[in-house]
Chain A
Amino acid sequence: MTSVFYVAGAVALVSTLLVITRASAVHALLYLIVSLLSIAIIFYQVGAPFVAALEVIMYAGALMVIFVFVLMMLNLGPRALAQEHAWLRPRMWIGPGLLAAILAAEVIYTLATAERAETAAALVAPKQVGQSLFGAYVIGAELASLLLLAGLVGALHLARAAEMGEA
């Protein structure tokens, strides 16, 4: 199971290196998603399944959707169609697909061999996290909700100001 960690770490490093060297933002996003997924596997391996699930749902899911959404909004123009063709060439899926296939193989391997017993000693259960979050860290949780509200209002204000500036 340590080898699973090493492979996931290597995939994370390679995909992150590819993120910062790609010319196209969409290609970089694909590699960034692979990088986040590999870090989720590392979280699972160190015995933090709750955080691993959150990494997939929040980072690789929600945040990356926002990125894709903004990227697509930025490219409304006559060149958009040609750009779509350039982005969706089958060849560019090989790299992210290969790295994601390695991660999928790791997940299948982990599930099949059921080596959870070995990590059970190091496992920090979601229950423990929840008790800590709403016990000792309850002020932090409230402040985080306040921060998210401030982010929501700030993003709304900036986007609306841009619309008014155009009108």
Chain B
Amino acid sequence: MVPTDVALALAGLLFMLGVVGVLARRNVIFILMSIEVMLNAAGLAFVVAGARWHQADGQVMFLFILAMAAAEVSVGLALVLRLYREWSTLDADVPSSMRG
């Protein structure tokens, strides 16, 4: 058996790495990738908890997270394209000068 507490700790560590990535990086692509890491860590926690109690709910929740990640990435990358065409940069701080 995979120990549940270790698996949950792993999910927590991966989530922390994602948070650090979002906070530390200024490249929009890296921020999006870190968000993927965080969503994935949350999904890992769901699946591990679902396996612990032999329920399918955890996996169903992972499917929802997967659908949400797909929608988020498509919109997010469209925004990245837009950002690059407007400012020719991927720096997340540049659009803070935007008004209106």
Give A contacts to B, CB under 8 Å.
1-2, 5-6, 9, 12-13, 16-17, 19-20, 25, 28-29, 32, 35-36, 39, 42-43, 45-48, 50-51, 54, 58-59, 62-63, 66-67, 70-71, 73-74, 118-119, 122, 124, 128-129, 131-133, 137, 140, 144-145, 147-148, 150-152, 154-156, 158-159, 161-162, 165-166
The reply to whether A71 and B29 contact each other, CB–CB distance below 8 Å, is yes
B-side binding surface: helix, strand, loop or mixed?
Answer: helix
By a CB distance below 8 angstroms, the chain B residues around A19 are 17, 21, 33-34, 37
Q: Quick check: B51 and A122 within 8 Å, CB to CB?
A: yes
Residues of B participating in the A interface, judged by any CB pair closer than 8 Å: 1-3, 6-7, 10, 13-14, 17-18, 20-21, 24-25, 27, 29-30, 32-34, 36-37, 40, 44, 47-48, 50-51, 54-60, 62-64, 66-75, 77-82, 84-86, 90
Indicate if the CB atoms of B57 and A13 lie closer than 8 Å.
no
Question: A5–B60 Cα gap in the complex (Å)?
Answer: 22
Shortest distance in angstroms between B81's beta carbon and chain A's nearest beta carbon?
Answer: 6
Contact status A39-B60, CB under 8 Å: no
A144 and B68 alpha carbons, distance in the complex (Å): 7
Once bound together, how far apart are the Cα atoms of A3 and B57, in whole Å?
Answer: 27
Q: List 27 A-B contacts (CB under 8 A).
A: A1-B2, A2-B2, A12-B14, A20-B21, A20-B30, A20-B37, A25-B33, A32-B37, A39-B40, A48-B58, A50-B59, A58-B70, A59-B40, A63-B73, A66-B77, A67-B33, A70-B77, A122-B1, A122-B51, A124-B56, A129-B56, A148-B67, A151-B72, A152-B71, A155-B77, A156-B78, A158-B75
Known: A58-B70, A119-B1, A155-B75. 4 other contacts (CB 8 A): A20-B20, A133-B60, A151-B72, A152-B74
Question: Which B residues are in CB contact (< 8 Å) with A35?
Answer: 37, 40
A25 touches B71 (CB 8 A): no
Which one of B14, B64, B84 lies within 8 Å of A144 (CB-CB)? B64
| Residues in chain A near residue B29, CB distance under 8 A | 25, 67, 70-71
- Find out whether the CB atom of A151 lies under 8 angstroms from the CB atom of B7: no
Contacts of B6 in A (CB 8 A): 5-6, 9
- Nearest-neighbor residue (CB-CB) of A157 within chain B: B78
Which residue of A is nearest B72, CB measured?
A151
